[in-house]
Amino acid sequence: MTTPLFAIVGHPNKGKSSIVSTLAQDESVTISPIPGTTVDNRYYPMRVDGETLYALVDTPGFQRARAALEWMQKQPGSSVDRSNIVRMFVEEHHDDRRFAAECSLLTPILDGAGILYVIDGSRPFGEEYEAEMEILRWTGQPSLALINMIGDSDYSEEWNHALGQYFRIVRIFDAMTADFDRRIQLLLAFGQIREEWRESLEKAVRILKEEQQRRRKLSARTMAETISRMLTYTCQRRLSGDGASDAVRDSLQQAYQRELTSMEQECRNAVEQIYNHTHLERHEPLVQLLDEDLFATQTWLLFGLTQQQLITTGALGGAATGGVIDLAVGGASLFLGAGIGAMIGGVSAWVTTDRIADIKILGLPLGGKQLSIGPMRNINFPYVVLGRALYHHSVIEDRTHAHRDPLELNQQPAGLQTLDTGHRKQLEKIFVKLRRQETPSTDLVDTLAEQIQKLMELPVSGTTKTPA
Amino acid sequence: MTHSSLIGDLIDLNSALKSDSSTDSDEKKQRDRAIGQALQQQRNSPARQLRGWLDQVSIGAWKRDGHHAVQLYHVLCVILVFAGLASGWGLARVVLYYTGNAPINIVNALGLLVLPQILLLLFWLLSTIPNRIPLLGSLQSALRFLNPGRLTRHLARLFPDRSRHSLSLVWDAEYATALAPAARWLFSFWSQLFSFCFNIGVLMAAFYMISFSDLAFAWSTTLNIDATTFHHMLSALSWPWHTLFPDAVPSPELVEISRYYRLEEASFGNAMVASRLAVKLSQWWPFLITAIICYGLVPRLLTLFISWLRFRHHLAHALSRLPGSPELLARMNSPLISTSAPQPESVAEIDAGTGYGPPETGSYALQCAVIDWSGTGVNSESAAKQLQAMGISCQDFLLAGGIRSTDQDNATIGSLCDLKPEGVAVIVKSWEPPLLEFLDFIQSIRAQCNRQQPIIILLWGGRDGVSALDRETWQLTLRQLKDPDLHIETMGSVR
């Protein structure tokens, strides 16, 4: 079985390179408004562990189709010999700079490539296309016409009519907006032009779908890690005096916001990398701190013991001491000794924490006051962050590599307001547990990642997603 | 696979992943997939696969620091072993100190060598049970904080930066999500190692003293306990070994005669009795030794083993949770899919050329032959009116391009030469880019019959108008001709 090969051919500036860039997920393809930018054939094989399942060839656009066709028409021979005449044309003109584009684009077709003829369906049909369509018909190779909708106007009806005379299969495909499912459908359509290619293309589609699932899983994991970190993040600053000035509070809040933004941006970059978008410029409003007052003044103690730990330790020590008394009276005290000891120990630790902090040994304080900000307790915050992350993921997943404009995320998603009760409850459970933890546990992050992956299948901002 | 080598691999993996972050993504995919295929048999064991990857991968700026951390880890373990042995030996020597004047109080010995161990064991159990009870979390947090194994972190500060920094990854807050469970069990392992060695030290000292001196034990307590109650308490304490080592269970008689004031009574009465009593009193040692083994050594051996196993488990688990590990595993275990072009693209260099301005007078004031290129579909009368507004009067209306042959185009150029117009206006579809055959046509006009006169390209946008992008496309392409008398104008509306 031969490897399916598809030559993307057509008039210049009709989106051939955009289609190749979209299907090959290759942002290195030069897309230019200047005709003739593509000067050589460029191969884009789909390789899976070294095995080539199919290949696309981006070709230069026709430049002198009329002259080429006239040369071919002047050659003697019947309609049976037309493909040979095209071959003769290429052989005779391969050093002729006048027909460099025609020779380049016809070479893979004569080598057995299927023809994917691309036109712009947002511009009217013109008689200048007839010569190139006729040449392609002369090659005798299986073909498919793609109506690429570059602009807003729609001339697909008249194009359908014109193309139908030359091509058995005509498909409309917008290289800029085609989501994953449409790209897959197009690949399957390629399989229709020659039966023996179908198996290879179906295998390619299956592998691409699996890859899509892997990408979603990795993205979900990245998003879960980021949300967990953002939800548990705190920022502290030790205070030299008794209170915190507004300047200190402002600077701490800025540092906190900066760190949250940085975590979010890292997550965005990682997700974009997963989808092979490595050079994206992104515009997105900063995440808002939903809590009005995130500040707390706490006591810090040497060796990092928190006040709560100190109280528990005190209670434990008290209980142990009381327990000895219980033991001495042979349990006749009904463990009152341990209970009262725990209470006295705990209360003493609570009362004396501040005093311990004030003690200095060799000039070094045993503790002091610190201003802390975070973690974010607002119950909406994780939903907002998750909503933004899911929206970004949805845009990235659907964004074709033909898009070269900056990624605009200014239109904030409706969020997860439409989320059903089941999903919301499961998420809330995770978020509640996360808020309780100083460091998110890996199990919790895994659970959140699973939930996020499920949410990726749901509609975001009115768009409907189907499982890849 | 030892856990010390796991520590080394964890640290090496982390530094490898960090160094690898600057490696080209395609290069990483190819390299890791190749390694992944070679390690296909270990696919179900991420830790083994990651360690296999470490053995095979080569990253430019990567420095393996793992062995430094392993060295430090071993040194810290050895320090803990010696500290445990020394403190156990020391404490046992103090507790079992015997001059022959007064017997050793067995209550003291139990209180210092056995009971704290039971208490600490309970604390250890409390700190390790899963946190499902309210307030238990806080207690566990405090117990873990008080875990003496944590002090080893501070001990590590005494060592060179390179070793310390690499090992500190295990308890680094930045990696807490992945490594907090491993760190907790490492501290537990260290504290249990110390405790186990402490018990060994105690037993060594006890055996030494039993072997080289005649220890005599008695019991005395300020608590209101009679011999029967005390015997019951000791029997309860001895329950775990009472069938296995019945000799190590104090008899009621021994308890009865070992009480301090009984000893005094006996020794005052008869020297022979006192001598026999001394022999009897030394019979406490099997009980004491077995109690230390049962409540100290064996449980510590068990907790040491559990801590070792849990630490190893979490360490192996952490390998696949380090930042970058899930992605690495995905690269190793997913088919390498490449859809992009392997070769760089060769792109035509476009010369910026020079711009096309409108006529200096603001109007052309020319009598031109007008050519409709490639069947624009423009109405000749309305075209003439629009041209009039530009100062162009239509001398004749000709056709070229499109479905016409190149011979017909040449004939059109012939007619044009015969007309000898002051200029040539060519109406083109603005949405179709200028092809080389169009440039050929313009150059033929210039070569054959219009060497100096202006040629005006009129962009017609049809019902959609002329877009700025289309106009720019035409301008950029026609600049390639470097023709100073070539002008571009827009007909109709401009988008």
Burial class (CB in 10 A: 0-12, 13-18, 19+), A74: exposed
Whether residues A49 and B401 touch (CB distance < 8 A) is answered with no
Taking the Cβ of residue B362 and every Cβ of chain A, the question of whether any pair is shorter than 8 Å is answered with: no
Beta-sheet pairing, A143-148 with A114-120 = parallel
Segment B419-439 shows an average pLDDT of: 91
Whether residues A67 and B432 touch (CB distance < 8 A) is answered with no
Whether residues A313 and B433 touch (CB distance < 8 A) is answered with no
Segment B303-323 shows an average pLDDT of: 92
Segment B309-321 shows an average pLDDT of: 91
Segment A20-36 shows an average pLDDT of: 74
- The span from the CA of B366 to the CA of B392, in Å, is 5
* CB-CB neighbours of A318 under 10 Å: 23
Q: Kindly list the distances between the CA atom of residue A13 and the CA atoms of A33, A62, A158, A183, A275, in Å, as whole numbers in the listed order.
A: 6, 10, 19, 21, 26
- The span from the CA of B237 to the CA of B225, in Å, is 16
Segment A327-352 shows an average pLDDT of: 75
Q: B50 versus B141: which is more confidently predicted? A: B50
> Best-predicted range by mean pLDDT among A424-428, B144-148, B358-362?
A424-428
Taking the Cβ of residue B342 and every Cβ of chain A, the question of whether any pair is shorter than 8 Å is answered with: yes
- CB-CB: which of A12, A29, A128 is closest to B402? A128
Query: What residues of B are in contact with residue A436 (Cβ under 8 Å)?
Result: 137
Taking the Cβ of residue A195 and every Cβ of chain B, the question of whether any pair is shorter than 8 Å is answered with: no
Closest chain A residue by Cα to residue B377 = A126
Identify the band that residue A331 occupies on the pLDDT scale cut at 50, 70 and 90: low
> CATH 3.40.50.1110 residue ranges in chain B?
366-491
Whether residues A47 and B337 touch (CB distance < 8 A) is answered with yes
Location of structure tokens 């040629």: B455
Segment B217-230 shows an average pLDDT of: 79
Helix (H) or strand (E) holding A298: strand A295-301
Averaged confidence pLDDT in chain B:
84
Q: Report which of A375, A315, A373 is spatially closest to residue A347, judged by C-alpha positions.
A: A315
Is the per-residue pLDDT at A428 higher than 80? yes
Taking the Cβ of residue A36 and every Cβ of chain B, the question of whether any pair is shorter than 8 Å is answered with: yes
Closest chain B residue by Cα to residue A326 = B223
Identify the band that residue A463 occupies on the pLDDT scale cut at 50, 70 and 90: very low
Is the per-residue pLDDT at A243 higher than 70? no
Output the pLDDT for position A144: 94
Output the pLDDT for position B280: 75
Whether residues B344 and A25 touch (CB distance < 8 A) is answered with no
| CA-based nearest distance B344→chain A, Å | 8
Which tens digit of pLDDT belongs to each residue from A366-384? Answer: 667 778 887 888 888 888 8
Closest chain A residue by Cα to residue B441 = A64
Which tens digit of pLDDT belongs to each residue from B349-404? Answer: 656 555 565 565 567 888 899 999 998 888 888 888 888 888 888 888 899 999 99
Output the pLDDT for position A465: 47
Is the per-residue pLDDT at A248 higher than 70? yes
Report the DSSP beta bridge partners of residue A49. none
> Best-predicted range by mean pLDDT among A318-322, A331-335, B421-425?
B421-425
- CB-CB: which of A34, A328, A436 is closest to B477? A34
Lowest mean pLDDT among A370-374, A441-445, B188-192, B475-479: A370-374
Whole-number percent of chain A with pLDDT over 70? 83
Averaged confidence pLDDT in chain A:
84
Query: Could you tell me the pTM of the whole model?
Result: 0.75
Which residues of chain A from 133 to 162 reach within 8 Å of chain B, CB to CB? 151, 153
Q: Does domain B366-491 have CATH number 3.30.360.10?
A: no
Q: Is the peptide bond before A60 cis (omega within 30 degrees of 0)?
A: no
What lies within 8 Å, CB to CB, of A176 at 6+ separation is A18, A22, A150, A400, A402, A403
Query: What residues of A are in contact with residue B327 (Cβ under 8 Å)?
Result: 218, 274
What tokens does A243 get? 């209170």
Whether residues A28 and B345 touch (CB distance < 8 A) is answered with yes
- The span from the CA of A378 to the CA of A394, in Å, is 25
Query: What residues of B are in contact with residue A153 (Cβ under 8 Å)?
Result: 464
Taking the Cβ of residue A309 and every Cβ of chain B, the question of whether any pair is shorter than 8 Å is answered with: yes
Taking the Cβ of residue B223 and every Cβ of chain A, the question of whether any pair is shorter than 8 Å is answered with: yes
Q: Report which of B471, B458, B394 is spatially closest to residue B431, judged by C-alpha positions.
A: B471
Judged by DSSP in three states, B303 sits in: helix
Q: What is the dihedral of CA B411, B417, B419, B422, to 10 degrees?
A: 130
Amino acid making up residue A316: L
Cβ-Cβ pairs closer than 8 A, A with B, add up to 187
Query: What residues of B are in contact with residue A61 (Cβ under 8 Å)?
Result: 435
- CB-CB: which of B142, B335, B340 is closest to A48? B335
Is the per-residue pLDDT at B183 higher than 70? yes
- The span from the CA of B346 to the CA of B360, in Å, is 40
Give the distance, in angstroms, between the CA of residue B201 and the centroid of all CA atoms in the same chain. Answer: 41
Taking the Cβ of residue A216 and every Cβ of chain B, the question of whether any pair is shorter than 8 Å is answered with: no
Output the pLDDT for position A466: 41
Q: Kindly list the distances between the CA atom of residue A440 and the CA atoms of A230, A290, A294, in Å, as whole numbers in the listed order.
A: 10, 21, 20
Which tens digit of pLDDT belongs to each residue from B13-54? Answer: 999 998 888 888 888 888 999 999 999 898 889 999 999 999
Judged by DSSP in three states, B347 sits in: strand
Output the pLDDT for position B358: 59
Fold (CATH) for A5-193: Rossmann fold (3.40.50)
Whether residues B337 and A48 touch (CB distance < 8 A) is answered with yes
Taking the Cβ of residue A208 and every Cβ of chain B, the question of whether any pair is shorter than 8 Å is answered with: yes
Give the distance, in angstroms, between the CA of residue A149 and the centroid of all CA atoms in the same chain. Answer: 24
Give the distance, in angstroms, between the CA of residue A112 and the centroid of all CA atoms in the same chain. Answer: 36
Segment A38-47 shows an average pLDDT of: 86
Report the DSSP beta bridge partners of residue A46. A54
| CA-based nearest distance A283→chain B, Å | 24
Give the distance, in angstroms, between the CA of residue A53 and the centroid of all CA atoms in the same chain. Answer: 25
Whether residues B317 and A48 touch (CB distance < 8 A) is answered with no
Amino acid making up residue B411: A
Is the per-residue pLDDT at A327 higher than 80? no
Whether residues B177 and A37 touch (CB distance < 8 A) is answered with no
Output the pLDDT for position B167: 83
Closest chain A residue by Cα to residue B431 = A123
Query: What residues of A are in contact with residue B405 (Cβ under 8 Å)?
Result: 66, 70
Judged by DSSP in three states, A103 sits in: helix
> Best-predicted range by mean pLDDT among A136-140, B255-259, B343-347?
A136-140
Identify the band that residue B449 occupies on the pLDDT scale cut at 50, 70 and 90: confident
Q: B463 versus A187: which is more confidently predicted? A: A187
| CA-based nearest distance B26→chain A, Å | 10
- Using an 8 Å Cβ cutoff, are B450 and B369 in contact? no
Taking the Cβ of residue A207 and every Cβ of chain B, the question of whether any pair is shorter than 8 Å is answered with: yes
E strands of B10-113, at which residues?
104-105
Taking the Cβ of residue A28 and every Cβ of chain B, the question of whether any pair is shorter than 8 Å is answered with: yes
Which residues of chain A from 164 to 183 reach within 8 Å of chain B, CB to CB? none
E strands of B184-323, at which residues?
217-218
- H helical segments located in B320-435: 325-333, 380-389, 406-419
> CATH 3.40.50.300 residue ranges in chain A?
5-193
